[in-house]
Structure formats: C-alpha cells, structure tokens
Amino acid sequence: MTETGSAAAGSHVRGNLLTPAYLWMTRQRGGRALGVAAALGVIANLAFPPFGLWPAMAIGLSGLIWLLDGARLADNPGKAAFWRVFAFGFFYFLFSLYWIADAFLVEPDIYLIFIWMPLILLPGGLALLLAWAMRFAFQFWCPGPARLIIFSVALMISEWVRGALFGLGGLPWNLPAMVWTAGGAVSQTASIWGVYGLSLLTIVALASPAALADARPRGTTASRAAPFLVAAVAFGAIWGWGASRLASVPDDEGGPMVRLVESGVPQKDKYKPQMAEQVVARFRNLSGPDSPTAPAILVWPEGALPGLLFEWPDALDAVTGRLGNRKLIIGIARRENADTPNEKFYNSLAVLSAASDARGPLAIYDKHMLVPFGEFTPFSDLLGKLGLTTLQKLAPGGFAAGPKPSTIRVPGIPPFGPLICYEAIFPGLSPVGADRPRWLVNISNDSWFGHLSGPYQHAAQARYRAIEEGLPMARVAAGGFTGMIDAYGRWTARGKPADPAVYGPDPAGWTSSVVDAAIPAQAHATPYTQWRDGLFALMLISLNLGLLVLPRR
C-alpha cells in the first residue's frame, strides 16, 4: 500500500488522545521513518543506569510498534519493517555500549585503528540480530493487542540469543529488566523468575501503551486501554510484593568483617614499568597491618597488580609479608607450563595467606566466561593476521577459560562463590544446591571505561545477581563501584576515598578507596536458584499460547 493508502487507512482510526501521534508515526516513510526509529533507540537508553528513567523505555518500545504498524502500509512491508528495527537497534545498542570504545583509547597508538569495532561492528551486529528476529515475527503482524505479544516474544528471543551469542560468551548487557533499580521493589521478583523473566514482563508492560492506538476501525476506548490497564495492575502487584519482601527482611546478624581495597591507579599508567612498585606499595598501605581490630579478610580487585604475581617474587613477598593472620582474596594473572607448547595464561582469583610466598595459594579460581577481544580473540587464526589482538597486557594470545565457578572453601573465610568482572552480568553462574556458597565475591576492573555509563551499569547487574541468588556480595571494582551488597541487591556499605591521615596520600591522579563492612546475612534459597530460567521459558510459551485467544483482526 502506498503513502496515500496510509492516509486513507488512518482516517478510519477511532480517535483518542494518542491518535494524532499514532497517525504521524504510521505515516513516516523512507529516511524520516529511519530517523524516528533511531531517535527512539536513543531515548530508550535513558531508562538504564545512571539515568533510570524507565518511562523512556515505554516511549521507545511503543513508538517502534507504531512504526511497524506504518511499515505494513509501505510498498515493501517486510523491508520497511527490517530497516526500521535495524535503525532502532543500531542506535539503541550504540548508546547502550558506546563506553566500550573508551578501552581503545587507553593506548590509542595501538588500538585506535580498531575503534570502529565497538562503535560500528558491535551495535550493527546486535541490531541485525534484532532486525531479523522482528522481521520473522512481522509475518504474523496484525492490528490489536496480539501485535504486542508478537513484538514482545520476538524482542525477548533476540535478547536471549545475544546472551549466548554464538558460543562466544554472549553479551546480556542492559537487558530490559535493568530499567528497574537494583535493590528496589520491582527488582525483587528476579529472585523468582530471574532477570530474563523480569525482562519479558517489562517488555510486555512498557510496550502496552502502543495498544492505546491502532489501525482497527472498530473497538472501544476501553478495549484499547485493556492491555495498558492489565500491565499497570500487574506491575502494581509486582511492586507490592517486592516492597513487602524488603519490609520483612529479618534483622539477622551478618558475618565477619571484610576490607575492600582499590588502589585507584589509572589504567593508562598501570603497566608502566616505573609504576609497578608504587602499585604494590599502595595496596599494602591501604590494607594496613594485621591487628586485633583489623578485618580478617581482605579483597583486592581483578588484575590488582601489573604482573604475574607468582613469577614476581618481590611483589609476592611484599603482599604476603603484611597479612599476618588475615586472608587475601586477590585478582591475578597467572601462567601454567611456561615456555612450553602447552603454555596457558589465566585470569584468576586467588586466596592467599602469610605463607603463600612459600606454599602457594590456598585456593585458585580461573575465570570461566572470558571477554571477546578483551581477554581472547575469537577466530584468532584469521583475525590475528589482521593485527587484532586482545587488549590485556599479561597474556600474549589471550587467556584460557577455566571451569564453571564452584564454591571456594578456605578456613577462616565463609564459603564464597567467585565472579570475575564480566561473569557478573550472566545469571545462573553461581553454584546451587549442596555447593551453594554463603556469599559472593565479585572482583572487576572497570577502569578501562573511565567515568562513563559502563561502570554504573556493571554494578547494577552485579546487584541483580545477589537478588537472584539470595546471597550478599562483596564487590571490588578498580575504577568502578566498590562496596558490600546485601542479599536483596542493596548497598550496605560503599567505597569512599581513603583517608590520607590513615593510609597516606594518593599518588598524583589516583583515587584510592577503602571500605570495611560486615558480610550481610544470606536469604533463603530463592525460587530462581531451584528453577533457573524454567519460569522464563514457561512465560514465553504462555505468551505464544495467548495468541490463540487474542483477536487478530
């Protein structure tokens, strides 16, 4: 149907307050339609941290549905739908993930030539995934409430696929559920159906305003308002349940005290040879001496030191020499089978004691989920010929992946589940059942990404893991957000600049951080720990069955 046909169709739309906006959106063609779609993708990002304006997501999703309504009236409906969704998706993912480009500016003389990857290739690839999913769903498009279900299922399947992308680890970053503040009332339902289940409900609810206007010539205002009203009631109930859960948190005593330590060394300076001893000394000073009042557990961030600690005797002696009776959880890079054909490097978490300089670590966990291009190079044989290598410094050729996380049990430390950096964005990694830990430890290095939105979003996702698992979390993030999180996703203590009167002055340009906090009490094992994404799958099936009873004409 041509644009003239669009105007004719629009004349039959039953009027309401949104009719002018609906008619304007459905009449957009060509480049104007793509421009509107791109603007909606940008607006939708205002729903994520650090902004947290969830109505922006409702505007973005509802507007995209109206643009798809208009695509049905184009000369080539399928093509129009594909490119409108692609334009939305490209700018949606670009503004959601632009901060990754900052890592390519740490050493611009080496990596600036590849900055097109996070700014063009990544958002373009994810947008193609979304566009193809919606293009398939568009075959079943129709006026009325059924199109909300078609849209929501297609979008959620696309989100699930990118979370497990091609076996490369996936990128479940800024799932729709993240528009709800971690630790707030709505976020508590992630303990039941996980972040994917809450994301599906969020899409349906925030897309429901699109039902207030459609191309049906019949239908009352009440019938059009029904999906929106049902969504409002449902999320009112969700909020009420979450608020009740938070109000009934018992006043149980927590566990032992932990000191969370971050040196604040800028990423651009960290690997300069002259900085090595200064970084070690700063961590030692911030950790303080062993004393009867000092926390018995220390946590340092991912890749805390600029070297292979177990091949750096002076640093290992300096780190262990001040521990006394304390235990240190530290992020390190390490190597096995050095200088042999079987040489491998690992991004690891180690537990050290005062005797570890002679006897080795008390425990080691090797990171399981690695960052593509950050820690390993996919299709390395091909891409290596183009000069593309990983961004990290200590492992030529990249890191090897370790096994899935299991609970670390060391005398003097409550059993804990390890999550290194990127792993905190993946739901369902923590051990369950008999291996369920007492708390989670998330060490990270967010200093690659400056003070942009990435560290805010990374911390929010880590807090969702605490909610899903019903476990408190200690989080130490270089250049990010450090603190203690309770089993409901709420900060109980936050890192603050180290007092120079106690710990000495920071070197120029550094902002060190120290926080002492007790490990909060754990919650009961949540439904999500038992069912994982089973409820999410059930909800997807139920929505598809709903298409059998919803009016399609």
pLDDT at res. 9: 44
| Whether 233 and 265 share a structural domain | no
How far is residue 529's CA from residue 464's CA, in Å, rounded to a whole number? 13
- Given the structure tokens 């651009």, which residue do they identify? 268
- In terms of pTM, does the model score above 0.85? yes
pLDDT in tens, the chain (553 residues): 343 344 334 444 555 677 889 999 999 999 999 999 999 999 999 999 999 999 999 999 999 999 999 999 999 999 999 999 999 999 999 999 999 999 888 888 878 888 998 999 999 999 999 999 999 999 999 888 899 999 999 999 999 999 887 555 689 999 999 999 999 999 999 999 999 999 999 999 999 999 998 887 766 677 788 999 999 999 999 999 999 999 999 887 789 999 999 999 999 899 999 999 999 999 999 999 999 999 999 999 999 999 999 999 999 999 999 999 999 999 999 999 998 999 999 999 999 999 999 999 999 999 999 988 778 776 555 555 555 666 677 787 789 999 999 999 999 999 999 999 999 999 999 999 999 999 999 999 999 887 889 999 999 999 999 999 999 999 999 999 999 999 999 999 999 899 999 999 999 889 999 999 999 999 999 999 999 999 999 999 999 887 777 655 4
Is the residue at 553 inside a domain?
Answer: no
Dist. CA 479–CA 23, nearest whole Å = 47
What is the length of the chain?
A: 553
Q: In the annotation, is 142 catalytic?
A: no
DSSP 180-211: SPTTSTGGGGHHHHHHHHHHHHHHHHHHGGGG
Catalytic pick from 367, 375, 423, 468?
367
Q: What is the pLDDT of residue 104?
A: 87
* Residue 138 DSSP label: G
Tell whether 206 and 78 lie within a shared domain: yes
552 found inside a domain:
no
Look at the chain and report how many structural domains it folds into: 2
Say whether both 290 and 359 belong to one domain: yes
Distance from C-alpha of 40 to C-alpha of 57, rounded to nearest angstrom = 9
User: Known catalytic residue: 421?
Assistant: yes
Furthest CA-CA distance within the chain: 83
Q: Is 470 helix (H, G, I), strand (E, B) or coil?
A: coil
Q: Kindly state whether residues 321 and 423 are assigned to the same domain.
A: yes
- 144 with 23, same domain: the answer is yes
The residue among 393, 479, 471 whose CA lies nearest residue 435 is 471
Shared domain check, 207 and 98: yes
Same domain as 161, residue 282: no
Tell me, what's the pLDDT at 8? 39
Q: State the catalytic residue, choosing from 302, 375, 423, 469.
A: 302
Whether residues 367 and 422 share a domain: the answer is yes
Per-residue b or e along 119-130, where b marks 16 or more CB atoms closer than 10 Å to that residue's CB:
eeebbbbbbebb
Residue 551 lies in a domain: no
- Does 216 reside within a domain? yes
Residues 208 and 123 in one domain: yes
Q: Is residue 528 part of a domain?
A: no
Catalytic annotation present for 367: yes
Q: Are strands 513-518 and 496-497 parallel, antiparallel or unpaired?
A: antiparallel
Phi, then psi, of 423 in degrees rounded to 5: -65, -20
Domain CATH number, residue 459: 3.60.110.10
Residues spanned by the domain of 31: 3-248+533-546
Q: Say if residue 242 is in the same domain as residue 384.
A: no
Shared-domain flag, residues 242 and 302:
no
- Of the candidates 144, 117, 20, 100, the one whose C-alpha atom is nearest the C-alpha of residue 457 is 100
Name the phi and psi angles at 432, rounded to 5: -130, 180
- Whole-number Å distance between alpha carbons of 261 and 330: 10
8-state DSSP, 523: P
Q: Which one of 421, 423, 468, 469 is the catalytic residue?
A: 421
Helix (H, G, I), strand (E, B) or coil at 467: helix
Residue 266 shares a structural domain with residue 242: no
